Amino acid sequence: MLKGPWASRRGFLRASGAAAAAWTLSPAAAQVEVGPPSSLRRLVPAAQLEAAAAQQYAQVLAQARAQGALAPDDHPQLRRLRAIAQRLVPHTLPWNERARQWRWEVNLIGSKQINAFCMPGGKIAFFTGILDELRLSDDEAAMVMGHEMAHALREHARSRIAKTQATGLGLSLGAQLLGLGDLGRLAADLGTQLLTLKFSREDETEADLVGLELAARAAYDPRASVSLWQKMMRVAGSRGLEFLSTHPSGPSRIRELEANIPKVEGLFEQARRAG
């Protein structure tokens, strides 16, 4: 059985919240270079989208539980994932102040899907397929988790929904002054689509780089980002991957990661020595 405050989902929530609260907003400056988050995301109320995500996440877990596919708290792989999250979460606040309020959760669902996600508000799930099929090391699993956390921290879902709905409704910037009710309701209605939301190439690059830095600060080897995507590409060559339907891979992605690894190696070495 897992000992200490991370032994259960409730303990995980307490420990992750305490760790994030203890983290200051003035760590060493970010080493990777990403632009500012999309200002259009403000069209969608963050709290409303996070509430919708929490509801959808609960539904996913309930369905998995009903099918006997939700891993219990003492499952070795779930304990492993929560241990990784314990190290990553304290480094999230510099990327999004709202993360201070998030109730981080990590769960594992028994499925052959090679997939993982982090919903707005810090709701993380891995499918056993991504761990088993790719035989992920802890460093590689941390890269997947950091990538998914980065999507939430950079509020890519919020921005994507705002852009899609603003275009569809023909909204102008001036329309913001008239109220956000329509987009707020749309945010709630679109909660069910969060699992299949496709991000832009720019979003994916941002998530790769921010996730790379999160993992390096948590003492996970940044070189694992390259071996992870090499594994993805090899498996994708033999069969389609659910993960790659929303996370396109390719040599250019690996080259981008390779170019940024030197920027975070110092963080990794420092964290490794401190650990």
The residues annotated as belonging to the active site are 148
Token couple for 135: 């035989």
The full 3-state SS of 45-105, as one line of letters, equals CHHHHHHHHHHHHHHHHHHHHHCCCECCCCCHHHHHHHHHHHHHHHHCHHHCHHHHHCCCE
Which uninterrupted H or E stretch holds 196?
Answer: none
Rounded to the nearest 10 degrees, what angle do helices 251-274 and 201-217 cross at?
20
CA atoms of 11 and 17, how far apart (whole Å): 10
The answer to whether 143 and 124 have CB atoms below 8 angstroms apart is no
